[in-house]
Structure 1
Amino acid sequence: MIIDAYNTAQNERGRSDYLTGARPGEAPPPHVPFDPNALLERMDAADVDMAMVCSLAQRMENDFIIELVGKHPDRFFGFGQVRPSDDDALAEIARIAGAGMRGLKLHPTLHGYQFSDHGLLDPVFEACAEHGLLVLVNALDDAFCSPLAIEEIAKGHPGVPTIIAHMGAVWNVLDAILVAERTSNLYLDTSATLLADVRRAYRRLGPDKILMGTEWPGHDFDLERMKIGKAILDDADRALVEGGNMARLLGLADA
């Protein structure tokens, strides 16, 4: 199976120019409900069997993601979100896990915390361990969640597989590779990374710690598979990166 580790499905776009594509001074375009067929068509075009979906951190839409996965359980698996500083964060983790979510996406930069904050993050990771959730950390060259800070928390929770999204690109890739090499439960996703970075990670780590992530709709599945195909020439190793590793983390024995 080809399983993609990171994509977004945003339903409510609000007034943000970033989310609506509006030019400065323009009114946002009318709301258009999310069309899952647009995502499924791009998956099918690239022979992707399953894809993770989560909401963008600008608006956390856990119920929308739960509903989307419930309608397409054979194609999507969901990651919910919380702000760790919210009083109901741990209760929300329990709720989304009970609703079938497979992981938790964290975005320290937008939600205002340092990832090395044990008082804030240890309870979150303990809840994820209790409920069998993976963790994905948005780490796109962010000062709030350097790979070394992510390792500081993850190493204390070895039962929680933790994905460093984007390999910490751009400037933090080398540190992301370093911590993934020495910390058993840390993994790297390929979304928004350079071809050279995927090659670099593969040379250092082999195939077992790398997960294909596209972050659709910002990128496309066929382009991500092309990038990985150029970086990893061995068929068996590429099969692990393009789905085998994620299948193992999700417990999909048949995959």
Structure 2
Amino acid sequence: MNPIFEIAQAYDAVVIVHGSADLYNCPLEFDRMARRFPKVPLIMAHCGFFWEWELAIEVAMENDNLYLETSRVPGFETSKVIQKLGGGKVIWGTDGPFCDYEWEFNKIRRYAKNAEEFDKIMGGTVLSLLRKE
């Protein structure tokens, strides 16, 4: 993955990768890449779900450039991700066309602390990563 991250760093790109509890896409692998390339924003899709969501929160707290995306993550786990990380480190996703968009939307609306946090999760955070000025 180093060559991909080197290119992403050279072009100020954002990297999003499927994040699960599998061997090569578990939170510890994200931790390694985030530390190796601290200037590259790295988004962990699915928050390390199913079994590694708590570890995903931990490594996201330890790496300024690591963000968690919420698609297909159940409500309880999503609520804990938002509670621990806040809107500046959480990104809404749908994993479309495989998920119910309305459910994914309402999940964030339900667990965001306020309108400002909701707006960050629903697009503000990812927009800030894409607009490097």
TM-score, structure 1 normalization: 0.50
**CA 1:134/1:206 → structure 2, altered by over 3 Å: closer, same or farther?**
same
SS at match of 1:145: coil
SS at match of 1:208: coil
User: Which 4+ runs in 1 deviate beyond 2 A?
Assistant: none
Taking only aligned residues, the RMSD between alpha carbons, in angstroms, comes to 1.4
Residue 148 of structure 1 corresponds to which residue in structure 2? Answer: 28
- Could you tell me the percent identity over the aligned residues? 31
Larger Rg: 1
Residue 63 of structure 2 corresponds to which residue in structure 1? Answer: 183
TM-score, structure 2 normalization: 0.93
Report which stretch shifted further, 167-176 or 220-229.
Answer: 220-229
- Does the CA contact (< 8 Å) of 1:165 and 1:188 recur in 2? yes
Unaligned stretches of 5+ residues in structure 1: 1-120
Q: For this pair of structures, how many residues does the alignment match?
A: 133
CA distance in structure 2 between the partners assigned to 1:169 and 1:198 by the alignment: 10
| Offset of residue 233 of structure 1 | 3.7
Q: Which of 25, 42, 62 is the matching residue for 1:162?
A: 42
CA distance in structure 1 between the partners assigned to 2:87 and 2:10 by the alignment: 28
- 1:38-117 correspondence runs (5 A): none
CA distance in structure 2 between the partners assigned to 1:136 and 1:148 by the alignment: 15
CA distance in structure 1 between the partners assigned to 2:51 and 2:19 by the alignment: 11
SS at match of 2:36: coil
Matched, 1:221 2:112: no
Matched, 1:245 2:125: yes
SS at match of 2:24: helix
| Offset of residue 171 of structure 1 | 0.2
- Does the CA contact (< 8 Å) of 1:196 and 1:231 recur in 2? no
- Relative to its length, the structure with more helix (as a share) is 2
